[in-house]
Structure 1
Amino acid sequence: MTGVDILMITYNRAEYVRISLPGLLASCPSDARVWLWHNGTDRATLEVIREFRNHPRLHRFRHSEANAGLREPTNWLWAEATGSLLGKVDDDCLERPDWVTVLRRAHEDVPEFGAIGAWRFPEEDSVPDLIDRKLAGYPGGHRLMRNHWVQGSGYLVKREVVRQVGPIGADDSFTRWCRRAARLGWVNGWYHPFIREDHMDDPRSPNTIYRTDADLMARRPLSARDTGVTTIREWTEHMRRSARLVQEASLDLRDLEGWRMRRRNAARRLRFALTGRAPW
């Protein structure tokens, strides 16, 4: 496979970018290119970016003074990049140095792999019985904890998948996009043994900016606001529940659409009405 193009979207957390951006650049082999999109006008983050503008692996930089979110930058990469593998790393995520090499080799050996990625949860969140039932082996000695979607960071996906599925729609999400790929027969999931990603927004990360409840409330992530999280304890529990959710998730695509999905969503809405907390 020729060429790897990887997107990083930055916003207003210079502390994370100072760790994640050089980490991503250092992890790129000679034919990998980093595309950097900055949302907003945060001066401290732009100062960090400026330090790396001449790095040989930094291929393109685009600045949107408005917060364009995630969809527009992702579609920008998918439309303009030329690599046979495409990926994204969030600015709050630090990847293992060999993550590109491992995932690319897997893609080369297994034609049916779609979106495969690194694992962002700490060891304490692993439930071996749940993981084991979703593990599958593939040619070349590769193993995957199968799931019909992966998180939007630390993944590589074949360009052919993007060509078949198309861009992320205006009312879409990366999760739903991955599910559409799965319906076309592509195999998604997390490489196993897991490639560990340091998700710095997790309060258990050694690099997190969230040490106290005040830290969290001062710079609360979008998903924390959406779920009503206000404390470090609640935010940590959110991370644990997220890990459990993907380990428990069904591999039957019928469970992710139609009346089964509507029933699940209705149960979640009821829980929110009763508890004031969005379910994870």
Structure 2
Amino acid sequence: MGGIDILLVTYNRPEYVRLSLPRLLDTATADTRVWVWHNGTDAETLAAVQAYRDRLHRFHHDPANPGLREPTNWLWREAGGDYLSKVDDDCLEQPGWLETLRRAHEQVPQFGVIGAWRFPEEDLDPELAARKLADYPHGHRLLRNHWVQGSGYLLKRAVLEQVGPLRPEESFTRWCLRTARAGWINGWYHPFIREDHMDDPRSPNTIYHTDADLRARPPLSARAVGASTIADWTEQMTHSARIVQAASLDLDDYYGWKLRRYNLGRRLRRALTGRAPW
């Protein structure tokens, strides 16, 4: 079939879907097929999706809200594109993002999962980033990392064919690490392609302006790290940016005894501070 297949997973935030779905459709290439998996029973969000139903390649509604793993594997299993992608309903991609990422994939066969950068300029640490910037043929450059976020990426079908789908309980991060172990090069395209992550309180399109807003509809990641105020959640975003810029490119650090040592330290920090570092 060729082309690009992209999945948008929607849930209960119609304010975001009314921005993210038309943006995704408008930035799609002529050979892009947009799939939507709608989780939950929120009528307003469902209506925001249905307004664009005639422009969608496939639509699936699951009131049970199984999360992200099942929808991702659905796309990966049933789509026929040469390239596969997912965009979350709280993200806006920069115009031209697909053209840039596909051109990079076409010209650098070793690229596996490459994507857009979601952090504001203030979160960039030039010294940390410089250590991981790498140049490739035809003028392409990546901020290397063995994983990217599960939104705004583009991957080759050949990657999926080699390593298989997400395993039960496997995160997208761990899946990306498997692709890196298989020899694929992952990271963020540079100069950065921007992704507006609207869940970040610094986004001009965020729905989180007060602590009450955050407590009323906390993002899943905010609940996971115990962030209940705008200040805490913003700090976590900044910390996440630093984590990925500082993350090791030594794959051994993510497996075996090194991983066990890291996880022990992570659990200890969580016990002492009530916070997870990432």
TM-score, scaled relative to structure 2: 0.99
Give, in whole Å, the separation in 2 of the partners of 1:243 and 1:227.
15
Whichever residue aligns with residue 215 of structure 1, its letter is D
Compute the displacement of 1:228 (Å).
Answer: 1.0
- Counterpart position of 2:129: 131
1:84 maps to which of 82, 85, 89: 82
Compute the displacement of 1:278 (Å).
Answer: 2.1
1:246 maps to which of 239, 244, 247: 244
Contact 2:239 2:277 in 1 (8 A): no
Contact 2:10 2:88 in 1 (8 A): yes
Give, in whole Å, the separation in 1 of the partners of 2:194 and 2:128.
18
- Counterpart position of 1:187: 185
CA deviation profile, 1:152-177 (whole Å, cap 9, x unmatched): 00000000100111010111010000
Give, in whole Å, the separation in 1 of the partners of 2:274 and 2:76.
38
Question: Counterparts of 1:182-221 in structure 2 under 5 Å?
Answer: 182-221=180-219
Give, in whole Å, the separation in 2 of the partners of 1:224 and 1:133.
29
2:160 maps to which of 155, 162, 167: 162
2:62 maps to which of 61, 64, 82: 64
- Counterpart position of 1:32: 32
Contact 2:200 2:237 in 1 (8 A): yes
- Counterpart position of 1:99: 97
Match of 2:166, SS? coil
- Counterpart position of 2:23: 23
Give, in whole Å, the separation in 1 of the partners of 2:256 and 2:168.
21
Whichever residue aligns with residue 230 of structure 1, its letter is S
Compute the displacement of 1:274 (Å).
Answer: 1.2
Compute the displacement of 1:270 (Å).
Answer: 0.6
Compute the displacement of 1:199 (Å).
Answer: 0.1
Compute the displacement of 1:2 (Å).
Answer: 3.2
Compute the displacement of 1:279 (Å).
Answer: 2.3
Compute the displacement of 1:140 (Å).
Answer: 1.2
Unaligned ranges ≥5, structure 2: none
Match of 1:54, SS? helix
Give, in whole Å, the separation in 2 of the partners of 1:115 and 1:34.
19
Question: Counterparts of 1:250-265 in structure 2 under 5 Å?
Answer: 250-265=248-263
Give, in whole Å, the separation in 1 of the partners of 2:64 and 2:40.
5
Match of 1:89, SS? strand
Match of 2:54, SS? coil
Give, in whole Å, the separation in 1 of the partners of 2:187 and 2:274.
32
Unaligned ranges ≥5, structure 1: none
Q: Give percent identity, aligned residues only.
A: 69
1:267 maps to which of 245, 265, 268: 265
- Counterpart position of 1:117: 115
Give, in whole Å, the separation in 2 of the partners of 1:124 and 1:275.
25
CA deviation profile, 1:46-89 (whole Å, cap 9, x unmatched): 1111110012xx21000001101101100010011010000000
TM-score, scaled relative to structure 1: 0.98
CA deviation profile, 1:2-53 (whole Å, cap 9, x unmatched): 3000000000000000000000000011100101000011100011111100
- Counterpart position of 2:47: 47
Contact 2:146 2:176 in 1 (8 A): yes
- Counterpart position of 2:172: 174
Give, in whole Å, the separation in 2 of the partners of 1:150 and 1:277.
22
